[in-house]
Structure 1
Amino acid sequence: MGVALPLAPVLAARMESDETVAASSNNPVPLHWLEDTASTKAVGVTWGVPWPKGKHKKGTAFSLHDQQGSSFAVQSWPLAYWPDGSLKWTAHAAQLVPAQTQGLVLSTAKTASPTKGLTVTEASNAITVDTGAIRCQIHKQGSTLITAITRDGRAVAAAGRLVLLTQDRVDAEDEGVTRTQEFTGEISQVTVEQSGPVRAVVKLEGKHRQAKASRAWLPFVVRLYFYADSEAVRVLHTITYDGDETQDFIKGVGIRFAVPLHAPLHDRHVRFAGEDQGIFGEAVRGLTGLRRDPGAAITKAQVAGQATPDEKSFPPEVASHLNLIPAFSDYTLVQPSADSFAIRKRTRKGFTWLNSATGKRSAGLAYLGTPTGGLAFGIKNFWQNHPAQLDIRNAVTDEADVTLWLWAPEAPPIDLRFYHDGLGQDTFAKQREGLDITYEDYEPGFGTPKGVARTSELMLWALPATPSAAALASLATTLQTPPVLACTPAYLQERAVFGDNWSVLDPTSPARAKIEKQLAWYFDFYKNQVDQRSWYGFWNYGDVMHSYDESRHVWKYDIGGFAWDNSELSTDMWLWYYFLSTGRADVFRMAEAMTRHTGEVDVHHLGPFAPLGSRHNVLHWGDSAKQLRISTAANRRFYYYLTGDERVGDLLREQVPAAKALLTIQPGRKLPQDDPRKSGVTKTEAYCSFGTDWGAIAAAWLTEWERTGNAQIKQKLLNSMQTIAAQPHGFFTGSALLDVETGKFRLSTDTKPYAQHLNAVFGLPEVCAELITLVDMPAFERAWLAYCELYNASEAEQAARLGQSLGKLNLRQGHSRLTAFAAKRKKDKKLALRAWDEFYHASGGLTTHPQAHLLKGPEVLTPVDEAPGISTNSVAQWSLAAIQCLALVGDEIPNGL
């Protein structure tokens, strides 16, 4: 049974000052574009805004306008609530704001109406979305997701369906015939998540099925996004692997559309975007460069994608021989790696391909259509997520096919098998030996990819005419760097979002400036390493490596638990807090990519390990330690609240019941066999650490409570907080049995204080910072402040407070931010100075900083920057400590260091 304690915490009444709360309700919130958007097309945009407690009630109307007074239609909805029911975060969607518009502000007032408005009509078998510019009919069942996209009554695209190609073997040396199969996505459920008037979202779920076969596998979630007056459809595509990795090898996965073509072959146009605004453009049947010149008017029109004169006006020697000019039916752009792409074409199947063009990094956009309109289609992060491919087929017929391949069929199939045979590690003792030498936590059956997912973003534009090269280049820019609208860093700091433990960087003293310069250096180094080390690819993009091998001058990509970082020691949080502090667009893009990756690929979303994440490994899913500290909602909250992203919202909700996974999966796979945490427990109780485990559980419960006001989740969270505070040594008790149904911890009978260096480096300090400002529970605050104050205290002080010292502890520099938090809450200058001493001099971190130097051949394969002594663990913790110490005790920073 869980411990029975009176649970009557008073929700924090820490309201804004009377002056702030009484301020005008339409006090505008300043917004800004993260990037220079002059070259991008006006688009619909969605962003999040935080509010002070008690300021706005649910249902408050908001408006968007610029400094010239122009208003833009905006749709608003709640993302999170304060305990009193007032709005904490809201999301807002605006229609076609010119991306170069400056001085945008959000305020409370009646919003402008969309020019034409967006409507969603639902029938028994279909949903129709009319943006005012296009109409999209969405099927509710079957294998056709999108029946048609029309513009001005004319179909631009039709028969949108998911395609999956598999093959049963990948090893070329195997004898026998390789069998390939084709599957199509089949809808099981359709949900209209938003229906306008500015933004509509339709969610389709299902699995891929082979025609006339019983097997359905590879679950998908596809979201379609529409904005009022927009000609575009944004597509968010998620797959979850549920196959047998020894035989279900994916050869290609993507989405296909039919494109009607009703024009002479010489008026059918193909376009591909390359790099640096480059555009490849041709007609299906070219009229330029012929032996017989058709004339400048004709060739100029064709090159521009405009209608050519009537064939009757063609020179006779050209008009009578059009049938002898080859027409090219099929085109392919394939990006097999991060640094090369090729475009090819052929007249039709059964005949050779002609090499048309090559380049390095394609923007991943294509167009097929006629002078009266067509479809532009593309994949975001095209080259970064290689291998990717764009296909056009049957362009000489009345209905061509275009396919956006998220995994290119021309590349080797996806091979998710484990990378070694176990190396004889068939006993617990041998597995401990393996962990000791390669840092890999191996156990048979645990290195499975079952349940890992992958989310991709695509765009479709139903265009009224073949776009000019400049217009298509603008679309390509919009595809690859969609304009991001955000609150200013100063406003976000004023609202103290994600804990009052960060601040806008402000080099007002030499000591602060030195730290901020080093913060920038570390980010820039890792940003450049992503490119230099090619940390790209469908399953890898967004992650960074864990540890460096100076002997080989490479990151340890092939050594057990030293390879991919998988959020170890809060790399995600480092990037997000650095973004909050700087507002830098490049930081946002890197953090966004990491959130997409670590929330999908590093987590099991179905199967026996769901919804836990996998510890760092050569393969993202390869480690046998399946842990809440990797799947933690603490890493996803930033992106969700800043953007309102529905898929990340799914991932956050997925973690709400995650504590139950501890009933069957012990996070510390290599605990000694006689460790009490491996002993039997009741059906609803599991051993749970107060650090890496509870920190993740609390983040999930806090987020769900904020999002929904769910009273049961709220009570579980409060129960867990109070029963941690009631332990013999609070957080220094270390762990206890958690009743996953009630959230109550048993009172531990262990009177020995305990601390573990990893407890507070996976989001626990950041989550506790938010909880303490949200919930008035003095006992919990005392317990947490005691942990913050004593972890780095002297052994004598630890013994005086706890009865004995905690022994030798690691990561003391990273824990300086805990000391700083205690100093800020207690208004203790002595503690603040101690925090800075720990930051500059404590062990287990970076008291001196690595210097980078450029390596060239023949020492290395390609030129790369190397920083001897670099460690992602150390950099992430140093950076978090730097950001939080500056925010919490920055006024006490010693000068001259």
Structure 2
Amino acid sequence: MAATPSLSWLEGKPAWPAGVTWGVPWKQGELDRNTPLKLCGNDGASVPVQSWPTAYWPDGSVKWTAHAASFHSEPVDNYSLEPGAAAPADASLSVKEADEYIEVDTGAVVCRFNRSGPSVIRELSRDGRKLCAEGRLVAMREERHYTSGRNTIVEETLQSIVESTKVEQKGPIRAVVKIQGRHQSTAGGRRWLPFTLRFVFYARQASIRIVHTLLYDGNPHQDFLKGLGIRFTIPMKGPLYNRHLRMAGDTGWFSESPKGLMTFRLPDRQRELYEQQTAGSFLSLDSDQDAGLRSLLDDSPEWGDFKLTQISSDSYMIQKRTKEGCGWIHSVSGSRAGGLLYTGGEEGGLAIGVRRFWEKFPTGLEAAGLTGEEAAITAWFWSPDAPAMDLRHYDTETHVISCYEGADELRSTPYGVGNTSELMLWCCESTPNHDTLDAMVREKESPPLLVCEPARYHETRALGFWSLPDRSTPVKSQLEDTLDQLIGFYQEEIEQRRWYGFWDYGDVMHSYDPVRHTWKYDIGGCAWQNTELAPNIWLWYMFLRSGRADIFRLAEAMTRHTSEVDVYHIGEYAGLGSRHNVLHWGCGCKEARIGMAGLHKFYYYLTADERIMDIMDEAKDSDYATLRLDPMRAYFAKDEFPTHTRSGPDWAAFCSNWLAHWERYEDTSYRDKMLRGIECLKGMPNRLLTGPVFGYEPKTGELLFMGHENYGHHLMICMGGAQVWTEMAYLLQDPEWDAMLAEYGEFYNLPKEEKIRRTSGALQGKDWNIPMLSTAMMAFSASRMNNGELAKQAWDYLLRSPYNWSVEIPLETREVPRQEFVRSIREIPWISTNTVSQWSINTIVCLEMIGEHLPVTIMPQEEVNSP
């Protein structure tokens, strides 16, 4: 019989109606696919729930399930999933498919989508009242011409063209509509800038979650995006003084009307009405008592257009104007806007909220035409009031030797990279009060999520091998403190260094410059991290073992960024990603490991996010991309093999993609490609120790012998390879594969002489670098072989390493002298994200596998480095 996983709210239960989707792991053999599940609150009540499997174990039992519930009253603090029939859902949610449209009726709102044309939404209504007459994507392209020493700019307005609309999920509690298309000039012609929109509905909810993904397929030297957004047309009913606008500021609200009651004098009666108007009430003016006010209103200006522009992570401005052709006037300025706009009249209106509004600047919110019969509200992912996107490379050549750039070839191109933005849309019967607006901001910024206890994630092994926090000894307590402090440092560093922006938010930087007291943002391969040495896995392990909401949001942001911006989704490099660089797409090295599914599947299984599902689907055949761009082209000339690949990180990344596809769809052809590669390695002269470069045939998955020690071995395991391979061992239950991994972990740090002796001279001990990176493999070997000495050696490499690849314990920051940086900051001079990521991952794994072999004390670093 299946267990009853307990669930709690990640960041506190929602205070008002909300739809929620979440994931739950199961032990192998614990849940049969035919077993129904019910959701029960700690108050004993059963809640209607929609459930579906998202992954399976090799024995056919369910590995992960996803669930959706719609909460209409205040939920309880805790829930459990139990075997049994779910409470029946009401019949409020329905989906209708017609030739020209798809209609979703939640029981609270009705939304009709077009199957073609420029408009995505045909109509949106609540209680029979039309709140949206049209919804479409909008963009602006800027083209620059340099002639006779002068710069001429031509702007072109773009709109969405719907190419496909389909239902991905149709209830009974959750419905999802996916729309794909491209942008086109309003004058016709070229179609480009592919987009995907997903609209997520919940039964009886008047809100809609929107996920917007843009792919860039332009020429960065010609196609400068000047604006990018989504626009909704709203019917406006009632006199102008009963039309309201709300914009979220830093902590409160900008509240105005196109016809405010403030005039140069404010008598008591007028003041009373003015206060009611500002609070959102609809006014009824008395023909006699308010005759004077009516006369004043007839004469007062009509403010038709409002906009808020978040130009940086620390500055926004609200402006308004009366009409087109007139100047904008400054209303108010602030630092970090809440990213929500409401506009409506006497028959209601729409509120739209953009998630990560100031973090992904330059953003904007705009309401236009409030004095007419229809208004248009626009959420700008890239505000047209900001300079256009400039996606060109930072130089015309590479700097491989001086700046650690990966290849002599200049392959810096944004063609094929993506960016995903999230929004919430609320259909409002009347102007929301401030408490309701505050709740909207909280919901769109931190969507409610149910999560399991860390022990549940741990015991199921559904996301690999890692440890729970343990403070049972002074050394273990020290390690836990250090792991927490490292997370805290990066959280502070994101804010201190302002690692924000449309293309940057979610990533961190690679290497530090202690002389300039800044990260090496301008030094080739030392700038943005781009999943180098698997920081995603580090952050997700830290969430799984702690359940901390702040770490979840950190990992979520990194997943959104790295799965989109660092990876190519279309074009020549589809299936590959870009190695770390000054620009996220700047490095000439394009490799599969940057976007391997194992980096992103944590988020998918915890949230059932469909966009991440798309990305993992894209990755399943990334090995074929090596036919177009051989990852070893700089080292091996074209030969008899179709292409080349390293057992790690390339083949390990392929295995990560295949494993994810196999467990999600039970497609055994991808399992068989893994098994084929393993069989090839078994037949190599020294099994997994061979290579690591091989000839490769993507059609069959064959690895073909090319010699020994033909590339550095540390890259086999430090990009997530160790985590992929040990997960494969748990799933495949192949004793020889286990033995090969154990052999690798034990062999890696042997003296050269012993390597030569064991392999009869085949291996000379060349390029087995950076011992700390091998400690998770050493732990696997030590645990399997019950080798206490090997376990102690692994801990020495983690805690007493003289190779500058260990973390200083205790972790200490220092204040930078006032005149040496532009503002007051603290720093860790030795910091490296490579080191932090791998040290944290390996420490977490070693605590699980060989924690009993920890030393009694940790030697201070100065003693380690002393002669």
Q: What is the TM-score with the length of structure 1 in the denominator?
A: 0.92
Structure 2 residue aligned with 1:824: 783
Aligned-pair Cα RMSD in Å = 1.9
TM-superposed deviation, 1:777: 1.8
Structure 1 residue aligned with 2:758: 801
Structure 1 residue aligned with 2:86: 111
1:666 corresponds to 2:630: yes
Out of 637, 655, 663, the residue aligned to residue 698 of structure 1 is 655
1:36 corresponds to 2:36: no
In structure 2, relative to structure 1, the CA distance for the partners of 1:172 and 1:71 (3 Å cut) is: farther
After the TM superposition, which residues 396-435 of structure 1 pair with which residues of structure 2 at under 5 Å, given as runs? 396-422=371-397, 434-435=399-400
Out of 212, 228, 245, the residue aligned to residue 237 of structure 1 is 212
After the TM superposition, which residues 717-728 of structure 1 pair with which residues of structure 2 at under 5 Å, given as runs? 717-728=674-685
Equivalent AA in structure 1 for residue 799 of structure 2: Y
CA distance in 2, matches of 1:874, 1:375: 48
- Which digits, 9 at most, give the CA deviation of each residue in 1:678-737, with x for residues without a partner? 32245xx32111110011000000010001111222211211122122211122111322
The DSSP-based 3-state class of the residue aligned with 2:773 is: coil
Structure 2 residue aligned with 1:595: 559
Runs of 4+ in 1 over 6 A off after TM superposition: 170-173
CA distance in 2, matches of 1:236, 1:613: 22
CA distance in 1, matches of 2:147, 2:840: 46
In structure 2, relative to structure 1, the CA distance for the partners of 1:752 and 1:590 (3 Å cut) is: closer
CA distance in 2, matches of 1:97, 1:692: 48
TM-superposed deviation, 1:555: 0.5
In structure 2, relative to structure 1, the CA distance for the partners of 1:604 and 1:324 (3 Å cut) is: same
8 Å contact 1:572–1:635 — kept in the other structure? yes
The DSSP-based 3-state class of the residue aligned with 1:833 is: helix
CA distance in 2, matches of 1:605, 1:615: 15
Structure 2 residue aligned with 1:288: 262
The DSSP-based 3-state class of the residue aligned with 2:492 is: helix
TM-superposed deviation, 1:670: 4.0
CA distance in 1, matches of 2:823, 2:834: 26
1:162 corresponds to 2:124: no
After the TM superposition, which residues 419-498 of structure 1 pair with which residues of structure 2 at under 5 Å, given as runs? 419-422=394-397, 434-498=399-463
Structure 1 residue aligned with 2:172: 197
Is 147-156 or 371-380 further displaced after alignment? 371-380
8 Å contact 2:13–2:77 — kept in the other structure? no
After the TM superposition, which residues 823-862 of structure 1 pair with which residues of structure 2 at under 5 Å, given as runs? 823-842=782-801, 843-846=803-806, 848-849=808-809, 851-855=812-816, 857-862=818-823
TM-superposed deviation, 1:101: 2.6
CA distance in 1, matches of 2:746, 2:324: 72
In structure 2, relative to structure 1, the CA distance for the partners of 1:444 and 1:766 (3 Å cut) is: closer
After the TM superposition, which residues 512-591 of structure 1 pair with which residues of structure 2 at under 5 Å, given as runs? 512-591=476-555
Out of 644, 657, 673, the residue aligned to residue 716 of structure 1 is 673
- Which digits, 9 at most, give the CA deviation of each residue in 1:641-665, with x for residues without a partner? 1111110111111111110111121
Is 649-658 or 807-816 further displaced after alignment? 807-816
1:331 corresponds to 2:289: no
Out of 700, 708, 724, the residue aligned to residue 742 of structure 1 is 700
In structure 2, relative to structure 1, the CA distance for the partners of 1:797 and 1:498 (3 Å cut) is: farther
In structure 2, relative to structure 1, the CA distance for the partners of 1:761 and 1:444 (3 Å cut) is: closer
- Which digits, 9 at most, give the CA deviation of each residue in 1:225-257, with x for residues without a partner? 101111111111011111111110000011101
CA distance in 2, matches of 1:844, 1:205: 49
8 Å contact 1:378–1:459 — kept in the other structure? yes
CA distance in 2, matches of 1:155, 1:490: 48
CA distance in 2, matches of 1:668, 1:365: 48
8 Å contact 2:756–2:764 — kept in the other structure? yes
CA distance in 1, matches of 2:378, 2:541: 38
Out of 824, 831, 834, the residue aligned to residue 873 of structure 1 is 834
After the TM superposition, which residues 354-369 of structure 1 pair with which residues of structure 2 at under 5 Å, given as runs? 354-369=329-344
Out of 713, 716, 724, the residue aligned to residue 756 of structure 1 is 713
Structure 1 residue aligned with 2:863: none
Out of 840, 853, 856, the residue aligned to residue 892 of structure 1 is 853
- Which digits, 9 at most, give the CA deviation of each residue in 1:166-203, with x for residues without a partner? 11029899625311111111111112110001111111
CA distance in 2, matches of 1:98, 1:854: 49
CA distance in 2, matches of 1:250, 1:173: 24
- Which digits, 9 at most, give the CA deviation of each residue in 1:592-638, with x for residues without a partner? 11111111111111111111000111000011000112121121111
TM-superposed deviation, 1:134: 0.5
TM-superposed deviation, 1:764: 0.8
How much identity, in percent, do the aligned residues show?
Answer: 39
CA distance in 1, matches of 2:729, 2:775: 19
TM-superposed deviation, 1:414: 0.4
Is 565-574 or 724-733 further displaced after alignment? 724-733
CA distance in 2, matches of 1:60, 1:309: 58
- Which digits, 9 at most, give the CA deviation of each residue in 1:368-401, with x for residues without a partner? 0135421000110000000000000000011000
Equivalent AA in structure 2 for residue 661 of structure 1: A
Is 875-884 or 381-390 further displaced after alignment? 875-884
Equivalent AA in structure 1 for residue 156 of structure 2: Q
CA distance in 1, matches of 2:407, 2:650: 21
TM-superposed deviation, 1:356: 1.3
Out of 119, 122, 127, the residue aligned to residue 147 of structure 1 is 122
TM-superposed deviation, 1:856: 5.6
Equivalent AA in structure 1 for residue 126 of structure 2: R
Structure 2 alignment gaps of length 5 or more: 859-867
CA distance in 1, matches of 2:166, 2:306: 35
In structure 2, relative to structure 1, the CA distance for the partners of 1:751 and 1:689 (3 Å cut) is: closer
In structure 2, relative to structure 1, the CA distance for the partners of 1:479 and 1:623 (3 Å cut) is: same
Equivalent AA in structure 1 for residue 438 of structure 2: A
Is 333-342 or 208-217 further displaced after alignment? 208-217
Is 803-812 or 67-76 further displaced after alignment? 803-812
CA distance in 1, matches of 2:289, 2:639: 87
- Which digits, 9 at most, give the CA deviation of each residue in 1:255-295, with x for residues without a partner? 1010111111000000011123x111112211135515344
After the TM superposition, which residues 78-157 of structure 1 pair with which residues of structure 2 at under 5 Å, given as runs? 78-96=53-71, 101-157=76-132
CA distance in 2, matches of 1:150, 1:820: 59
8 Å contact 2:16–2:72 — kept in the other structure? no
Structure 1 residue aligned with 2:861: none
Equivalent AA in structure 2 for residue 848 of structure 1: E
In structure 2, relative to structure 1, the CA distance for the partners of 1:509 and 1:333 (3 Å cut) is: same
1:307 corresponds to 2:289: no
TM-superposed deviation, 1:81: 0.9
Structure 1 residue aligned with 2:864: none
Q: How many residues align?
A: 852
Is 92-101 or 777-786 further displaced after alignment? 92-101
TM-superposed deviation, 1:882: 1.1
- Which digits, 9 at most, give the CA deviation of each residue in 1:417-462, with x for residues without a partner? 111122xxxxxxxx6xx31111123545511111111111011000
TM-superposed deviation, 1:115: 4.2
CA distance in 1, matches of 2:74, 2:593: 38
1:222 corresponds to 2:197: yes
CA distance in 1, matches of 2:366, 2:147: 26
Structure 2 residue aligned with 1:6: none
CA distance in 2, matches of 1:837, 1:780: 27
1:812 corresponds to 2:787: no
Structure 1 residue aligned with 2:744: 787
In structure 2, relative to structure 1, the CA distance for the partners of 1:61 and 1:441 (3 Å cut) is: same
CA distance in 2, matches of 1:523, 1:517: 10
Structure 2 residue aligned with 1:688: 645
8 Å contact 1:547–1:870 — kept in the other structure? yes
- Which digits, 9 at most, give the CA deviation of each residue in 1:546-577, with x for residues without a partner? 11111111111111111111111111111111
